[in-house]
Amino acid sequence: MSINLRTVYAFAREMYPKLSTEYIQYGTAGFRGKAEFLDSVMFRMGVLATLRSRFRGGAVIGVMITASHNPEPDNGVKLVDPKGEMLDASWESIATDLVNVSDQDLEQHVAKIIKDNSIDITSSSHVFVGMDNRYHSPRLLKAVADGVIALKGNVREFGIVTTPMLHFFVVAANTKETYGKPTEEGYYEKLIKAFELLRNGQLENGNYKNNVVFDGANGVGARKMLQFIKRMNKSLNISVINQGIGPGKINDECGADYVKVLQRPPISMPVVEPFTRCVSVDGDADRVVYFFTNEKGEFQLLDGDRIATLVAGYLMDLVTRSEIDLRLGLVQTAYANGASTDYIVNELKFPVSCVPTGVKHLHHKALEYDIGVYFEANGHGTIVFSDHAKATIATASETKASAKTLLLLIDLINETVGDAISDMLLVETILNHKGWDVKDWISTYNDLPNRQLKIKVQDRNVIETTNAERVCVKPEGLQTEIENVVSNYKRGRAFVRPSGTEDIVRVYAEAATKEDTENLAYEVGVLVQRLAGGVGPELTKPGSAHL
């Protein structure tokens, strides 16, 4: 096989010319931007995925086309490595350089990547591609596929799938189907089988009722949930809202991000009994949060921290009852509610670590444990089991019922990445086994009020942080000022960091009361504006609207 790079890039220039010279970066979740500027990015990511597959000895590499929780005009692309992880950090800069190079320099640049990484261009290469249900995704998928074909790689298109489904397919193929069958049916089959065995015919238990409202964010999660329902043997009554078949747009006034950040129910909520479990997923269904309204009609949120603590407590209990010795750990970020961390440390007595924002950091840390539970507060997370843990549990399952349950849970969990639907089925399983409703669940601890602000600055990279982003080291003096302010608030905690997905600085604040939290966030926001080159309008002082 020989590849004439010159012909390939003449073709690229004709079909996928670079329309924007604006510099873009492979960030926390790959490339994101307005869909009309992404064709050349997609073609080049098809090229890169082909090279990455060859670099990894012909293992399958995944390419997912999605802008997750972003609005409808946006799209994006992220690469999935052979074990289902996000693209290795060392290749993120290769990706960034590749998409920013001009059309004229493309050929030479690709030749350099091949040479620098000693890639055998004649070896075989396999790329799996999936997309969310944005109207521009099919066009962008074709660009990725053309990029793969241009370098004579093999491409397999999965059409519209959730991000976690694509991760599942990649791992299933690379493990020679030990993990599951790399097909849509294989995915449904594995999860539904485990879920229904764990239910074992017991559909209700104590306070647990068998009904859930599912907000699909008008995204791919809604479509796939409808497929789940068709294949499930009525083991859970799920009513799907924001299905994406009406005029509603993806993530618009619905979905996990909307519900979590604005702390309110999504649009199109039917009238339901108080305490009915409701679930929101995001546009590509890798995040999930729960919510309900209480008897006073007040909105109550059960976010990623709640899921993490529920799961951790349950797994710990099963491990203890199985009389096996495994190292369990929970991984959070600085955004985790302080009350959840206190509960984990003091009540669950579970080792907990804090890492920088972004799933790749959480995932890597979780791999250090036999059973690693990781969740971002926004609902993105999963559980990973080491080979040692799997073997120990399998042996114990011959004699212990609790270990048998653990074994089934491993099949229910999509270990490759956070998976909204798999996580939801896991939560449903645990609540059912415990006989809990949302009232029982939320009473485990009281969340501290918290507030996030987005501050516009001239250059967000003037902010540098350390200690898992909890301490700001640059610009000089900012951290001391933050600490001074925080010390005036009971249970106060605040930190600032540059966002990896938006051109802003994020401020996080929590304190004992809602009013204090608002004031603390405001004060820290003003400090960022003053010391880090704020460019936005002046922040509104909390409560000033009522003066």
Ligand X SMILES: CC(=O)N[C@H]1[C@@H](OP(=O)(O)O)O[C@H](CO)[C@@H](O)[C@@H]1O
Establish if 357 lies at the interface with Mg ion (CB under 5 A): no
Establish if 284 lies at the interface with Mg ion (CB under 5 A): yes
Are 88 and 56 in contact by the 8 Å Cβ rule? The answer is no
Catalytic residue, from 40, 53, 68, 322: name it.
68
Q: Which is nearest to 420 in space by CA: 257, 205, 267, 264?
A: 257
377 marked as part of a ligand binding site? yes
468 marked as part of a ligand binding site? no
Provide φ and ψ at 48, rounded to 5°. -65, -40
Establish if 25 lies at the interface with ligand X (CB under 6 A): no
The torsion region of residue 248 among left (phi > 0), alpha (psi -120 to 50) and beta comes to beta
Nearest residue (CB) to ligand X, 433 versus 506: 506
Show the CA angle centred on residue 113, arms to residues 112 and 115, nearest 5°. 60
Type of residue numbered 527: L
Q: Which of the ranges 82-90, 212-220, 226-234, 499-507 carries the binding residues for ligand X, by CB under 6 A?
A: 499-507
Tell me which of ligand X, Mg ion, none is bound by residue 359, counting a contact when its beta carbon lies within the kind-specific cut-off of 5 to 8 angstroms.
Answer: ligand X
Are 61 and 82 in contact by the 8 Å Cβ rule? The answer is yes
3 state DSSP class of 320 = helix
Choose which of 286, 423, 428, 447 interacts with Mg ion (CB under 5 A): 286
Name the minimum Å distance from CB 455 to ligand X: 13
Establish if 68 lies at the interface with Mg ion (CB under 5 A): yes
Rounded Cα gap, residues 366 and 379, in angstroms: 16
Name the minimum Å distance from CB 82 to Mg ion: 21
Tell me which of Mg ion, ligand X, none is bound by residue 358, counting a contact when its beta carbon lies within the kind-specific cut-off of 5 to 8 angstroms.
Answer: ligand X
Establish if 132 lies at the interface with ligand X (CB under 6 A): no
Scanning residues 58 to 77, which ones bind ligand X (CB under 6 A)? 68
Name the minimum Å distance from CB 67 to Mg ion: 9
Are 87 and 103 in contact by the 8 Å Cβ rule? The answer is no
Show the CA angle centred on residue 187, arms to residues 213 and 326, nearest 5°. 90
Tell me which of ligand X, Mg ion, none is bound by residue 374, counting a contact when its beta carbon lies within the kind-specific cut-off of 5 to 8 angstroms.
Answer: none
Establish if 303 lies at the interface with Mg ion (CB under 5 A): no
**How many angstroms separate the most distant Cα atoms in the chain?**
75
Type of residue numbered 37: F
93 is catalytic: no
Strands (E), 66-203: 74-80, 126-131, 154-160
3 state DSSP class of 495 = strand
DSSP state of 536: S
Establish if 31 lies at the interface with ligand X (CB under 6 A): no
Establish if 516 lies at the interface with Mg ion (CB under 5 A): no
Name the minimum Å distance from CB 215 to ligand X: 18
Tell me which of Mg ion, ligand X, none is bound by residue 284, counting a contact when its beta carbon lies within the kind-specific cut-off of 5 to 8 angstroms.
Answer: Mg ion
Establish if 282 lies at the interface with Mg ion (CB under 5 A): yes
Residue 158 C-alpha from the chain's centroid: 20
Tell me the binding residues for substrate.
Answer: 376-378, 497-501, 506
Q: Which residues are catalytic?
A: 68
Give the binding site for ligand X (CB under 6 A): 28-29, 68, 335, 357-359, 376, 378, 380, 499-502, 506
Give the binding site for Mg ion (CB under 5 A): 68, 282, 284, 286
